[in-house]
Structure 1
Amino acid sequence: MVITALAALAAAGCGSGAGAAPKITTTARAGVAPTPPAKGAYFGAYVPPEDVARPKSSAGSPSKTSGSPDGSASPSAGPSGSPSQSPSGSPSGKPTGKDAGRPGMEPVAAFESGLGRQLDIVQSYRGWKSPFPTGLDSSVLASSRYLLLTWGGADTKEIILGEHDELIRSRARAIKATGKPIFLRWSRDMDKKSSQKRVHSAADFIAAWKHLRAVFKQEKVDNVAWVWCPSARGFGSGNAGSFYPGDDEVDWICADAQPGGDYDYRDLSEAVKLFVQWARGRAKPIMIAEFGVPKSYGERRAEWLRAAARTLQDPQVKAVVYFDSDEQADDARDTRRAFAVTGDKRAVSALREIATTPYFNPRNLPVTSD
């Protein structure tokens, strides 16, 4: 394999995102819940099911089968078998789509084929009342990939009062029963105005977060890493930091960091700048759970991705998840909110460069030739 400039930078440890990062700590148990790699960052993606992969205008409203009735966990609104090895080790075989026959895995396997390697993390979205794990979740858990489960929120005041305890206990027991390490990202983008009706206030959110964790603790759920994830933009135009529950309540700090549909062109470095500055004060690993390059950037998409790779080679960034979907677009003409790279050879090649760079392949997963 040709060693790219990105690989050379990573090997030298001189990515442009490098800086003074704090010593990272986590409440998660190593070998039981997902913990950060010693070096580099996990590479993951959200690959939508085939029935929600298209913009709204060409397929109607995106399917809500993975979310709640109000779509609160849907990205547009905002286990059988056993693994050959645990996610802490290298999987056997090559990324040739051998898992494509498992429920929900065909789109993921197709994405991995173009990427040239198996993903470390596969993200799924589930609504507050949706059962899990099912379908794709179970397939991911039966493989050597990590599951990033994005779970929709509910009314924080109702959670605080214990009105949802039965549901929470049911989900906690289901997660525990898998016996597999799971990233749990609950009520992401809680800082956005669109979430205010159910979130109410930062204080209410924090109290609800602590209530959830307390119920999970009562159920002795140890295989979860709690991912706190506001919007990156909320650190500039809002007060995202005020929703932070505290270092003893959070395992990973996260941000959704798409460039924004109101920009003609914006580097990822600008989108995450204020979030990363805030994160420097927290001894936690960083996850960028939703980043993507808009189709509106045209021939500059590859350039954007290579610049993003330099930004993400930061000693505190330990996981990055590409949002390979167009479902946030209002219609087929809304290319500022369309992020799928399928069919764009230059963008696919640039994303492949990132994924196969040693920095973003800390488990040394097998890589296929171009």
Structure 2
Amino acid sequence: MRKGLALVLLLTLLVGGCSFGKDDKPPAPPAPDLTSAPAGVAVNKGPFESGPVKAPARGALFGAWIKPDALTHVGRLAAVDSLQSDLGRPLRIVNTYRRFEQMVGTPSDKEFLARGATLMVSWATGDNRSILDGEHDDLIRKQAQAVRKIKVPVLLRMRWEMDRPNLRATMWSGPDYIAAWKYVRAIFKEEGADNVSWVWCPTAEGFMRGDAPGFYPGDDQVDWTCVDVYAGERFEPIGDLMGPFLTWAAQHPKPIVIGEFGVAKAWGSAGRAAWLKDARRTFKANPQIKAIAYFESDPEGNGPNKQFQLTGDPAAFREFHQMAKDPYFTK
């Protein structure tokens, strides 16, 4: 682990612990040491095979998921518009979540696409073995047709975070997931949905454990590799958290999208700002990272270690705003 920020974060953990009561706050760490190289670098500089959604030649596309007050057309637009107004720029990638039975091509999807954003659809497909048994063929075909009809390239994260232990009951195993991935992709091909860039997106923790690579469908099946990475339960530099993934990804000729990233409120405003500052330079040090999407949300029922919204936290949002305005991310 790098000296500077890594040492500060370790001391923060030792003093404050990994969970906090209502009145407890971790001590704010000082700014990271920016004189040393960031932790975690994917050395693959391309060229990359990215499918219909082309990776920028330089820099990275900037985006986010913003939890709306209501999951409606108006609510989704208002959430994105509010963040864009605060940042003073449009998002190039809008992440959106869909249950298995929810179709792409909603009015808000079409509005975001009309504005020039790239849609990243995080699609929660179901039980892999029931998919392989053909129980959902009609649903999958309907989704493929819906994607085809929007006629512009989209990023599709088929059952992102498939390596999470709490999903094992429906994922079953890596081979089951891989077989289901190929099965679904074949149906999309039959339906002429050739405007999809297929995004494989496990968790950073899955690479730390070592089981995530077992879910990889193969370079011939994947257009973008991806990782979801959070400073939630563990407050460490983002390069350390996703280091094992970056080492793995460097061996594959695919651009990387950071599908979700976030730093929890539990770590204090100054700590969050320092983490984001280090994240920005880590992204820039990795030429294989071609897109990033912040998880701007406080999921209901989660404690402070899993609350990631930056709006309302002046110091942290200021650093996020600096990232958004960095020319490297304005593509």
How many angstroms does 1:142 deviate by?
A: 2.2
Of residues 256, 262, 267, the one that matches 1:297 is 267
CA distance in 2, matches of 1:358, 1:149: 26
8 A contact 1:17–1:312 mirrored in 2: no
How many angstroms does 1:22 deviate by?
A: 4.6
Indicate the residue corresponding to 2:253 in structure 1.
283
Compared CA separation, residues 104 and 19, structure 1 to 2 (3 A): closer
CA distance in 1, matches of 2:103, 2:210: 32
Indicate the residue corresponding to 2:66 in structure 1.
47
Are residues 1:26 and 2:45 paired?
A: no
Q: What root-mean-square deviation, in Å, do the aligned CA atoms of Structure 1 and Structure 2 show?
A: 2.0
- Letter matched to residue 144 of structure 2: A
Secondary structure of the structure 1 residue equivalent to 2:242: helix
Question: What is the number of equivalent residue pairs in this alignment?
Answer: 294
Moved more, 102-111 or 186-195: 102-111
Compared CA separation, residues 166 and 219, structure 1 to 2 (3 A): same
Following TM superposition, where does structure 1 have runs of at least 4 consecutive aligned residues deviating by more than 3 angstroms? 14-19
Which structure shows the bigger proportion of residues in helix conformation?
A: 2
Which structure shows the bigger proportion of residues in strand conformation?
A: 2
Indicate the residue corresponding to 1:273 in structure 2.
243
Compared CA separation, residues 284 and 27, structure 1 to 2 (3 A): closer
Of residues 169, 172, 180, the one that matches 1:200 is 172
CA distance in 2, matches of 1:293, 1:335: 10
How many angstroms does 1:26 deviate by?
A: 2.0
Are residues 1:183 and 2:152 paired?
A: no
CA distance in 1, matches of 2:247, 2:206: 13
8 A contact 2:238–2:279 mirrored in 1: yes
Secondary structure of the structure 1 residue equivalent to 2:294: strand
How many angstroms does 1:131 deviate by?
A: 2.4
- Letter matched to residue 272 of structure 2: R
CA distance in 1, matches of 2:249, 2:210: 16
- Letter matched to residue 147 of structure 1: L
8 A contact 2:152–2:195 mirrored in 1: yes
CA distance in 1, matches of 2:130, 2:280: 41
CA distance in 1, matches of 2:109, 2:210: 33
Indicate the residue corresponding to 1:367 in structure 2.
none
Indicate the residue corresponding to 1:337 in structure 2.
306
Instruction: Point out where structure 1 has 5 or more consecutive residues left out of the alignment.
Output: 1-8, 52-64, 67-100, 363-370
CA distance in 1, matches of 2:58, 2:38: 13
TM-score, length-normalised on structure 2?
A: 0.84
TM-score, length-normalised on structure 1?
A: 0.76
CA distance in 2, matches of 1:202, 1:117: 40
Indicate the residue corresponding to 1:359 in structure 2.
328
Identity in percent:
39
CA distance in 2, matches of 1:222, 1:120: 21
Instruction: Point out where structure 2 has 5 or more consecutive residues left out of the alignment.
Output: 1-33
8 A contact 2:62–2:91 mirrored in 1: yes
